[in-house]
Amino acid sequence: MENEKSTSSSLRIGEGHDTHRTISGRPLIIGGVHITDADFGLDGHSDADVLLHAVIDALLGATGQGDIGEWFPNTSDEWKNANSTKLLDAVLQSILKRGWRIVNLDCTIHAERPRMALWKPKIRIRLAALLNLLPDVVNVKAKSGEKVGPVGRGESISADVVVLMVRETV
Ligand SMILES: [Zn+2]
């Protein structure tokens, strides 16, 4: 009981969203996974991993640390063609240092093609490993764009992420 009195936990929710245009001649990387059945990639300063960018923004949002553009300016040569797993790791280390822990993460990928259903389990396992979590607290959903709008016409791929975080303070 004494412990309960002297320990309080703070819960914070964060959301992240990202969109990148599709472009030929680049590999398609989503959630740190190379989607090999796509004949296109995503345009962007880094490797344009739309899901990891949304995860980063959700983590920064929950812990009140701004957004991905402030951390990794797209004018900086340092992040040109950067592997987004490196960006995620830098943010994760900062968050862990501040005493935050991820409770769970829920993601949605919006893509008309390729069919993401086959890739969801692989992305889930990869994302959990990148965040040092068990896969059961990382959920990955996928939706098509129903052939309407930029996603439905295959012009872009988007991702939405919600994260719940907790910090125990003594
Ligand atoms: Zn992005």
Domain 2-169 architecture: 2-Layer Sandwich (3.30)
Which SS3 state, helix, strand or coil, does residue 28 take? coil
Distance (angstroms) between ligand 1 centre and the Cα of 96 equals 23
Cβ < 5 A residues, ion ligand 1: 18, 53
Q: Confirm if 159 and 8 have CB atoms less than 8 A apart.
A: no
Beta strand pairing call for 100-110 and 138-143: parallel
**pLDDT at 54 exceeding the cut of 90:** yes
Whole-model pTM: value is 0.94
Would you state the pLDDT for residue 5? 57
Q: Which pLDDT score is estimated for 74?
A: 84
Residue for token pair 């910090």: 167
Spell out the residues 6+ positions from residue 34 whose beta carbon is closer than 8 angstroms to its own: 27, 28
Considering just the CA atoms, what is the radius of gyration of the chain in Å? 17
Give residue-wise pLDDT tens across range 101-126.
999 999 999 999 999 999 999 999 99
Residue 32 · residue 109 · CB < 8 Å = no
Q: Give me ligand 1 centre to Cα 47, in Å.
A: 9
Do strands 41-42 and 100-110 pair parallel, antiparallel, or not at all (unpaired)? Answer: unpaired
Structure-token pair, residue 101: 């822990």
Q: What is the pLDDT of residue 98?
A: 93
Mean pLDDT of the region 51-79:
94
Residue 6 has pLDDT above 80, yes or no: no
> 65 C-alpha vs ligand 1 centroid, how far in Å?
17
The tens digit of pLDDT for each residue in 73-88 reads: 888 888 888 899 999 9
The label of the residue with tokens 């300063």 reads 45
